[in-house]
Amino acid sequence: MPDKNLPDLVIDGARPWNQAEAVSIAIQGGRITGFGAAQDVLGGTRIDLGNMAVYPAFVEPHIHLDKALTQTRGRARSISEAASISRDVLRDGEALEGRVSILLSELVRHGVCAVRSHVNVGPGYGPETIDRIIRAAAPYRDKIELQLVAFAGSDVKPGASTWRNVARAIEQGCIAIGGGTSRRADPGPFVTQVFDLAGEKGCDVDLHVDEHLEPHCHGLEAVLNEMHRSGFSGRVTVGHCCSLGVVPPSHRSELIEQLRELDVTVIALPLTNLFLQGRSDAGLSNAFPSPRGVTPVRELVAAGVRVITGSDNIQDPYLPYGNGDPMIALMVLGIAAQLTEPAELDCLRTAMTSSAATTLGLKRYGLEVGCKADLVGFDQPSFAHTFTMPLSRQLVVLGGNLVVGDPQRGSP
Ligand SMILES: [Zn+2]
């Protein structure tokens, strides 16, 4: 019979990412209960990492579970074609639960302890999709926390049935309202409706804005204007913000200062940006390479804006590549945004860990006593090595459950 006062699991030889010395980490009841020298931390199943770097587990703040793993339904040659294939995918919820289950099991294996997914709630789909996703995620809930965003479309003006579906989605458990502004000539009225409903329902806002390189930021401006107008008190997140990098510098500085003042999180989504930009309704441009770009991460970081990143589309009509491994999104962001300075590399470290946890409002996240036991371990000598190349995880513990790791790997 196990002693209730002893840990269930002890990770020996673990070097917390911000410390020079390795320690033993005690885990009990899904929480971190102590750090100490190996001889002082008794009991439990033990794993010896031999001085590996250990980080809090990954937080994936932006994917689309309802579309993921559907690229076999057709590879789009243009954005319109991707939207059209997506609508067919969304109306046919047949294989949805199986796809969600496969992707969540992959995310768990990658060491992701929380994931936020946008879910389309247009006419003909929405409430059933949300129920199916929640059902498919149930077997994983001791390892990965799921947050859903009610996505009110990106191209057509949402009708009454869409807004009814959004309101119902909040009652079903969605924690934010989303949608896209890039394909709307005037995003203002849509953004106002999103904020009004979010204020009424007491939920957050998480929008896709300015997913293009045209020299204007109509979507971001609409969001900032609306926040000033309404005094919205929930958390606000804006994804993409690509054109922020191409507007005149003085205008860019002004918008970045407002993002900082209003504590808005910017999500860079480089994987989709680098694949989807350079396409139009006419298809791929013959000019190669087509100009493509991501949000100006270096300027945002220098100004003190919270910048995070996510995988966005995973093997769907918008982006037929990817497996949801956070290390890929982090490395590609580092390349695309040319991140080299210490503060910029620190942004990479937090972009899918602590900063993403703040954006999602996660409780008890981190490498402290009392935090949820969500850890990943890498066999690399330094922080710079760990976040600049995709590495296999030598250790994944989620909710105190050992997901990746070998208990036979040494025992003190
Ligand atoms: Zn997205």
- CA–centroid distance, 322 to ligand 1, in Å, is 14
Q: Is the pLDDT of residue 360 over 90?
A: yes
Average pLDDT, the chain: 91
Question: Distance between CA 406 and CA 45 in Å, rounded?
Answer: 10
- CA–centroid distance, 148 to ligand 1, in Å, is 12
- CA–centroid distance, 207 to ligand 1, in Å, is 9
Average pLDDT over every residue of 187-208: 96
Of all residues in the chain, the percent with pLDDT exceeding 70 is: 93
- CA–centroid distance, 79 to ligand 1, in Å, is 13
- CA–centroid distance, 125 to ligand 1, in Å, is 18
Average pLDDT over every residue of 382-386: 67
pLDDT band at 94 (very low <50, low <70, confident <90, very high): low
Task: Determine the Cα angle at 158 with ends 153 and 164, to 5°.
Answer: 100
pLDDT in the model for residue 381: 67
Question: Distance between CA 318 and CA 370 in Å, rounded?
Answer: 40
- CA–centroid distance, 262 to ligand 1, in Å, is 22
- CA–centroid distance, 296 to ligand 1, in Å, is 18
Residue-wise pLDDT for 125-149, tens only, equals 788 999 999 999 999 999 999 999 9
Q: What is the DSSP letter of 116?
A: E
CB count, 10 Å around CB of 198?
Answer: 24
Residue 345's φ and ψ, nearest 5 degrees, are -70, -30
Q: Is the pLDDT of residue 285 over 80?
A: no
- CA–centroid distance, 64 to ligand 1, in Å, is 6
Average pLDDT over every residue of 4-24: 91
Average pLDDT over every residue of 19-25: 93
Residue-wise pLDDT for 313-355, tens only, equals 999 989 999 999 999 999 999 999 999 999 999 999 999 999 9
Closest CA to 101 of 151, 64, 59, 138: 138
Residue 348's φ and ψ, nearest 5 degrees, are -65, -40
CATH superfamily of 58-339: Metal-dependent hydrolases (3.20.20.140)
The domain limits of the chain are 9-56+365-404, 58-339
- CA–centroid distance, 33 to ligand 1, in Å, is 37
| Range in 202-206, 237-241, 378-382 the model is least confident about | 378-382
Place of tokens 């590495």: 391
- CA–centroid distance, 313 to ligand 1, in Å, is 6
Most confident of 48-52, 163-167, 237-241: 237-241
- CA–centroid distance, 267 to ligand 1, in Å, is 10
* Cβ–Cβ < 8 Å for 132, 93: yes
Most confident of 14-23, 169-178, 273-282: 169-178
- CA–centroid distance, 3 to ligand 1, in Å, is 47
- CA–centroid distance, 123 to ligand 1, in Å, is 19
Residue 4's φ and ψ, nearest 5 degrees, are -65, -15
Average pLDDT over every residue of 215-240: 97
| Range in 80-84, 130-134, 319-323, 376-380 the model is least confident about | 80-84
pLDDT in the model for residue 180: 94
Give the pTM. Answer: 0.95
- CA–centroid distance, 351 to ligand 1, in Å, is 16
* Cβ–Cβ < 8 Å for 111, 390: no
- CA–centroid distance, 265 to ligand 1, in Å, is 15
- CA–centroid distance, 348 to ligand 1, in Å, is 19
- CA–centroid distance, 149 to ligand 1, in Å, is 11
Place of tokens 């106002």: 192
- CA–centroid distance, 99 to ligand 1, in Å, is 17
CATH number among 3.40.1360.10, 2.30.40.10, 2.30.110.10, 3.30.420.40, domain 9-56+365-404: 2.30.40.10
Q: Is the pLDDT of residue 1 over 60?
A: no
- CA–centroid distance, 62 to ligand 1, in Å, is 6
Question: Distance between CA 315 and CA 41 in Å, rounded?
Answer: 44
List, in sequence order, the alpha helices (H) in 177-217.
Answer: 188-201
- CA–centroid distance, 48 to ligand 1, in Å, is 39
Q: Is the pLDDT of residue 67 over 80?
A: yes
Question: Distance between CA 402 and CA 382 in Å, rounded?
Answer: 24
pLDDT in the model for residue 154: 82
Q: Is the pLDDT of residue 412 over 70?
A: no
